[in-house]
Structure formats: C-alpha cells, structure tokens
Amino acid sequence: MDFTALKSLWHKRTCHICSDFMEDPVTTRCGHNFCHACFSLFWNDLKDIFPCPVCQIHFPQRSFSKNHQFHNMTEMIRLPQKRQSKRKRQEEHTVCQKHDQPLVLFCVKDRDVLCTQCSLSVEHQGHYTCSIKKAGSYHRKHLECITETFNCKVKQVTKQLALQHRRVLELREETECKKERD
C-alpha cells in the first residue's frame, strides 16, 4: 500500500466546517467535501444564495451529492485508528478501578472479572473463582457447543423449507394440469 497517498488522504479527511474526521461526506459542485450534518447546518438558514464554505462560490440552489468513494477511503484510513482505540479501551479495563490491580480472576457466581483483592472481599467470599484464561476456555467451549446445536437446527429448518418449497411447486404443477384438463 502506498503510504504517501494514505498520508495525503489522512490530511484531507477533516471537514472544513467542524475540523473533525468527516462523517457521511458530501461534495459540492465546486469539489469541496464536508460532513453531511455540518454542511446541512451551514446552509440551514440560507434562502436564495448558497455559498461554499471554502471557496465562497455561490450556488442558486441547495445541491450537493454524497461522496461514497470518499466515504470508503476515509473508512479505510479510520480502521487502524478504530482498532487502536479499541485496544486502548481493552487495556484500560484490564485493571481494577477500585484497587488498580490487574483483573486476573473470574467469579463464576457473579460472572465478573476480579483482581485478587476483590476476590478476597466479603462481596465474593465463598464464591468459586478461577483464572480468566480457564473461564474463557470453558465459556468458549460452551459457546461452541451452543453454536453447533444452533447450526444443526438451522440445517434441519433449511431442509424442511426446501422440502416445503418443492411440495409447493408440485402442487402448483398439479393445479395447472387440472386447470388445463378442465
């Protein structure tokens, strides 16, 4: 992937009105891009002449078009940023907010992640706790079993639908034949 082109797109991704990452981009006839909401608000109170916020070219009517290509390109640029912020949020939640210790245990009764200090508290006293990895493994296997059962049921229903569809077609043919005979 050409990183200079990506870098150039990164700088062009901001709306000229709100100076933030462009949401639902639209393009004016003069070729400038804005957030749809920002641009609509910018033209909201205007009645006769509609200027471009960047180059001030006047348009006789409200006209702009959604820019699907620009939207797709900005989403491609934004994807690594989304992944990075998601990772940061996950890292923030791996520490107990009460005790500032890592969350390493899972309380089976409350279905909650705990630090070692929380697991010793009165609130969780007598509850079975295990490591997060062990709980994750157990719940993953449990989810796989449920998913497998669900997929089997979906296959059964699909077969039934196919049989019913075939029967409907047969009945239609029979009806057509009877109509032709009469």
Label residues 135-163 b or e (16+ Cβ within 10 Å = b): beeeeeeeeeeeeeeeeeeeeeeeeeeee
SS3 state at 151:
helix
CATH code for the domain of 38 = 3.30.40.10
- Chain mean position to CA 112: 25
Q: What are phi and psi of 32, to 5 degrees?
A: -90, 145
Please indicate, yes or no, if residue 64 is contained in any of the structural domains: yes
For the ranges 8-12, 81-85, 156-160, the lowest mean pLDDT is seen at: 81-85
Most confident of 3-7, 76-80, 90-94, 124-128: 124-128
Mean pLDDT, all residues of the chain: 79
Please indicate, yes or no, if residue 32 is contained in any of the structural domains: yes
pLDDT at 88 over 80: no
The pTM of the full predicted model, rounded to 2 decimals, is 0.38
Query: Which domain, by its residues, includes 28?
Result: 3-84
Please indicate, yes or no, if residue 43 is contained in any of the structural domains: yes
Please indicate, yes or no, if residue 160 is contained in any of the structural domains: no
Please indicate, yes or no, if residue 176 is contained in any of the structural domains: no
Which parts of 27-67 fold into alpha helices (H)?
A: 36-42
Please indicate, yes or no, if residue 136 is contained in any of the structural domains: no
Overall number of domains in the chain: 1
